[in-house]
Amino acid sequence: MTFQDLQLREEILKAIQDLGFQQPTEIQQKAIPELISEGSSDFVGLAQTGTGKTAAFGLPMLHLMDTEDRKVQAVILSPTRELGIQIAAELKNFAKYLPGVQVCAVYGGASIEGQMREIRQGANIIVATPGRLLDILERGKIDLSQVKYLVLDEADEMLNMGFKDALDDILRHTPKEKRTWLFSATMPQEVRRIAKNYMTDPLEVVIGKQNSGNKNIEHQYVVVRQSDRYEALKRLLDYYPDIFGLIFCRTKIETQEVADKLIKDGYNAEALHGDLSQAQRDLVMKRFRQHSLQILVATDVAARGIDVNDISHVMHYMIPDDIEVYTHRSGRTGRAGKTGISIAILTPRDERRVREIENQIKQQMQRIQPPKGQDICEKQLLHLVARVAEKEASAGMDTFLPNAYEKLQDFTKEELIQKFLSFEFERFLNYYENAQDLSNSAEDSSRRREPRGADTGFTRFFLNIGALDGANKGSLLKFLCDTTGLRSNSVGRIDLMKGFSFFEVPEADCDTVLSSLKNSDFEGKRVSVEVSKPRKDEGGGGGGFRKSSGGGGSRYSGGGNSDRRDSDRRDSGRRKRF
Ligand code: ADP
Ligand code: MG
């Protein structure tokens, strides 16, 4: 089926052609004829992320618009400002040849006056986040009484984010005889309720198995011990030199820490979480979108708006408590017909969750071994060679070359290749020369008993309760959860000794643990607890090898010239060398 078959108006077909869309996606094929037909009803469309839902509602909406009418004819509600901005941009592209269509994006964190001005000046399509739209409604600066089309995009996310009441309020301001189109990746109970309460006999179109994973995503996991989590992450990143990836952590603190370490270790990474200012987040997102940032480390909440198509890998530094979150995370890759890989870094304790995830995504997860030093070196070398082969010789070098040729003339071609590659590659070889095999260490971790430093993002506590007090790991875990209110899966490693023990909890919970355990008893014994070690400074055997990797910088293949840190590094490398 082609877009021509869909009987859309000429101006729209032309715009689609400009965008290079060849064929309507499945949801578009199903939704568009239905939505443009006269007298059709409300509509529910369920399809995975990345399947082209924006065009599925956007094209028919534009087709139906009265381009002479400057009142608000259509409202699209979106869960995040990021998504709202993207939907608005996409609609503007589709409406390129429809001058009568004015799209206005309305969202928090930007000037409300400017947005109200655009509305006053005759925007007839409004893309909005619920909170900001309500604000404008309550100021009486928008009239929704003529709305003909209402779209609830990513309805499940909107409800996840607690916009239910806001939705109710907004919907009350719209006329009864409008058409409501709901799009969602999943259909939980609350979405069903919205559909029931606000829609009349909607036609429901489901593409693919509901809640099933996107088949373009390969799901993998590695099992390592807790203390090797960061090292495992680094190896995975090193194993994929071309990665354009998203790494998920569970807390803001952990997110910032992992990003800081990666930056320190020379990776082109940044953090994205709610403690950053809106301006900082916008900047990070802009750089990521432009690929001048290669690795984004994010919390689930901050990543909700991320709608970047070519993410190659999603990594789960920590697996989420809620399995649905896993689906949302991994759905950030494998979009728009591309393939992607989702890799979870698990400890032996997390391994039981694999089955739960498989049930949810209706797909198998493949256990892979953490990349070995040898494999990484091979990958990196080939990557480097490919980059050298692609590199255009710099103009302006000609005058200096005769001298260089003369100095190097006695070497064979093979010797020269070896020498030049060594500049960049030696550090990798040195770093991984004696690197241990992480896959063997996971299994025997339960046998390791000696006290050790805590893992990233965790605080390690000393507790004066041990095996001689009748404790075992299970009873200690229960005691900790009961006393502190922490969930059992947020308690990290427990090391039980004869007369005492160590346990780990996320740094964010440190104060709670100290205060709640302070006056507690374990089986009649007064508990004493103290911070054992705030956090081991993970070296991973000298993890900073990339940082000093001067000139060239193998990580920075992503056109990172606008990256200040990147170019600084190159300069310093060059200075050192010559
Ligand atoms: P969803 O809302 O289902 O997550 P989007 O509407 O954001 O997906 O679309 C994902 C990407 O696919 C966008 O970049 C969009 O421009 C692109 N796209 C949509 N429809 C088509 C099509 N028919 N052909 C090619 N690309 C498309
Ligand atoms: Mg969408």
Does an H or E element contain 316, and which? strand 313-316
- In testing the pocket of ligand 1, which one of 1, 4, 17, 21 has its CB within 8 Å of the most ligand atoms? 21
Distance 74 CA to ligand 1 centre (A): 20
What does the angle CA 402 – CA 408 – CA 413 come to, to the nearest 5 degrees? 115
CA 478/CA 486 separation, integer angstroms: 10
Q: Which residue has the higher pLDDT, 213 or 542?
A: 213
In sequence order, which ranges of 20-111 are alpha helices (DSSP H)? 26-36, 53-64, 81-94
Average pLDDT over every residue of 394-418: 86
The verdict on 386 and 316 lying in the same domain is: no
In sequence order, which ranges of 470-545 are alpha helices (DSSP H)? 473-484, 510-517
Distance 480 CA to ligand 1 centre (A): 47
Q: Is the Cβ atom of 256 under 6 angstroms away from ligand 1? A: no
31 CA to centre of own chain? 28
Q: Which residue has the higher pLDDT, 124 or 355?
A: 124
Instruction: Report if residue 337 sits inside a domain.
Output: yes
Q: Which ligand is nearest to the CA of 154?
A: 2
Q: Contact at 8 Å (CB) between 310 and 244?
A: yes
Q: Which ligand is nearest to the CA of 332?
A: 1
CA 183/CA 198 separation, integer angstroms: 14
Model pLDDT, residue 440: 57
572 CA to centre of own chain? 32
Phi-psi domain of 551 (left: phi exceeds 0; alpha: psi -120 through 50; beta: other): left
Model pLDDT, residue 247: 97
Average pLDDT over every residue of 124-152: 95
Average pLDDT over every residue of 16-33: 94
Instruction: Report if residue 51 sits inside a domain.
Output: yes
Model pLDDT, residue 220: 93
The verdict on 197 and 270 lying in the same domain is: no
The verdict on 190 and 157 lying in the same domain is: yes
Model pLDDT, residue 356: 85
CA 321/CA 358 separation, integer angstroms: 15
Distance 51 CA to ligand 1 centre (A): 6
Q: Is the Cβ atom of 78 under 6 angstroms away from ligand 1? A: no
Going by pLDDT thresholds of 50, 70 and 90, the confidence category of residue 574 is: very low
Distance 25 CA to ligand 1 centre (A): 8
The verdict on 72 and 50 lying in the same domain is: yes
Model pLDDT, residue 543: 37
pLDDT tens for residues 146-179?
999 999 998 888 887 778 888 889 999 999 889 9
Does an H or E element contain 459, and which? strand 458-463
- In testing the pocket of ligand 1, which one of 51, 156, 157, 332 has its CB within 8 Å of the most ligand atoms? 51
The verdict on 99 and 139 lying in the same domain is: yes
CA 93/CA 14 separation, integer angstroms: 11
Q: Which ligand is nearest to the CA of 336?
A: 1
State how far the alpha carbon of 407 is from the alpha carbons of 172, 411, 419, in Å. Answer: 81, 9, 14
Instruction: Report if residue 521 sits inside a domain.
Output: yes
Average pLDDT over every residue of 118-123: 96
Q: Contact at 8 Å (CB) between 295 and 238?
A: no
Instruction: Report if residue 511 sits inside a domain.
Output: yes
Model pLDDT, residue 480: 92
Instruction: Report if residue 442 sits inside a domain.
Output: no
Of residues 518, 521, 522, 541, the one with CA closest to residue 531: 518
Amino acid of residue 237: L
Of residues 101, 151, 93, 94, the one with CA closest to residue 122: 101
Could you tell me the CATH number of the domain that includes residue 111? 3.40.50.300
Instruction: Report if residue 176 sits inside a domain.
Output: yes
Q: Which of 206, 228, 243 is the last residue of a domain?
A: 206
Going by pLDDT thresholds of 50, 70 and 90, the confidence category of residue 539 is: very low
Instruction: Report if residue 279 sits inside a domain.
Output: yes
CA 297/CA 264 separation, integer angstroms: 14
The verdict on 67 and 94 lying in the same domain is: yes
Share of the chain above pLDDT 70, in %: 87
CA 271/CA 253 separation, integer angstroms: 10
Angle between helices 229-239 and 252-264 (to 10 degrees): 60
Its pTM stands at 0.49
Q: Is the Cβ atom of 29 under 6 angstroms away from ligand 1? A: no
Q: Which ligand is nearest to the CA of 76?
A: 2
What does the angle CA 443 – CA 444 – CA 446 come to, to the nearest 5 degrees? 100
Could you tell me the CATH number of the domain that includes residue 514? 3.30.70.330
Asked if the model's pLDDT at residue 567 lies above 80, the reply is: no
First to last CA, the chain: 61
Q: Contact at 8 Å (CB) between 504 and 460?
A: yes
Model pLDDT, residue 534: 57
The verdict on 362 and 382 lying in the same domain is: no
Distance 304 CA to ligand 2 centre (A): 11
Asked if the model's pLDDT at residue 269 lies above 60, the reply is: yes
The verdict on 324 and 383 lying in the same domain is: no
Of residues 547, 412, 395, the one with CA closest to residue 420: 412
Does an H or E element contain 74, and which? strand 74-77
Tokens of residue 380, six digits: 């990196």
Distance 217 CA to ligand 1 centre (A): 17
Distance 244 CA to ligand 1 centre (A): 19
Going by pLDDT thresholds of 50, 70 and 90, the confidence category of residue 276 is: confident
- Per the structure, the count of domains in the chain is 4
What average pLDDT is seen over the chain? 83
Q: Is the Cβ atom of 25 under 6 angstroms away from ligand 1? A: yes
Q: For residue 392, give the DSSP letter.
A: P
Model pLDDT, residue 453: 53
Q: Which of 302-316, 341-355, 380-394, 419-433 has the highest mean pLDDT?
A: 341-355
**Ranges 212-221, 293-302, 499-508, 553-562: which has the least confidence:** 553-562
Average pLDDT over every residue of 13-33: 94
Average pLDDT over every residue of 279-290: 90
CA 408/CA 299 separation, integer angstroms: 51
Give, using CA atoms, the residue closest to atom 11 of ligand 1: 336
Task: Please state the atom number of ligand 1 nearest to the C-alpha of residue 336.
Answer: 12
Distance 421 CA to ligand 1 centre (A): 41
Q: Which of 206, 236, 260 is the last residue of a domain?
A: 206
Going by pLDDT thresholds of 50, 70 and 90, the confidence category of residue 496 is: confident
Amino acid of residue 77: L
Of residues 176, 181, 151, 195, the one with CA closest to residue 30: 181
Does an H or E element contain 135, and which? helix 130-138
Going by pLDDT thresholds of 50, 70 and 90, the confidence category of residue 318 is: very high
Instruction: Report if residue 7 sits inside a domain.
Output: yes
pLDDT tens for residues 30-67?
999 999 987 778 999 998 878 899 999 999 999 999 99
pLDDT tens for residues 417-473?
888 888 777 777 778 877 778 875 554 444 433 344 566 778 888 888 888 888 888
Model pLDDT, residue 305: 65
462: CB partners within 8 A, 6+ apart = 500, 501, 502, 529, 530, 531, 532
Q: Which of 149, 174, 206 is the last residue of a domain?
A: 206
The verdict on 384 and 365 lying in the same domain is: no
Q: Contact at 8 Å (CB) between 170 and 145?
A: no
Going by pLDDT thresholds of 50, 70 and 90, the confidence category of residue 533 is: low
186: CB partners within 8 A, 6+ apart = 46, 156, 210, 211, 324, 327
Of residues 97, 91, 137, the one with CA closest to residue 116: 137
- In testing the pocket of ligand 1, which one of 23, 25, 156 has its CB within 8 Å of the most ligand atoms? 25
Q: Is the Cβ atom of 84 under 6 angstroms away from ligand 1? A: no
The verdict on 160 and 16 lying in the same domain is: yes
Range of the domain at 354: 217-371
The verdict on 173 and 99 lying in the same domain is: yes
Q: Is the Cβ atom of 52 under 6 angstroms away from ligand 1? A: yes
Does an H or E element contain 220, and which? strand 217-223
Distance 337 CA to ligand 1 centre (A): 9
Q: Is the Cβ atom of 51 under 6 angstroms away from ligand 1? A: yes
Model pLDDT, residue 260: 94
208 CA to centre of own chain? 23
Model pLDDT, residue 185: 83
CA 326/CA 473 separation, integer angstroms: 28
Q: Is the Cβ atom of 45 under 6 angstroms away from ligand 1? A: no
CA 560/CA 315 separation, integer angstroms: 22
Give, using CA atoms, the residue closest to atom 18 of ligand 1: 52
Give, using CA atoms, the residue closest to atom 22 of ligand 1: 21
Q: Is the Cβ atom of 79 under 6 angstroms away from ligand 1? A: no
Model pLDDT, residue 262: 93
Distance 360 CA to ligand 2 centre (A): 21
Q: Is the Cβ atom of 32 under 6 angstroms away from ligand 1? A: no
The verdict on 107 and 182 lying in the same domain is: yes
Q: Which ligand is nearest to the CA of 48?
A: 1
Model pLDDT, residue 76: 98
Distance 397 CA to ligand 2 centre (A): 49
State how far the alpha carbon of 112 is from the alpha carbons of 105, 118, 139, in Å. Answer: 11, 10, 11
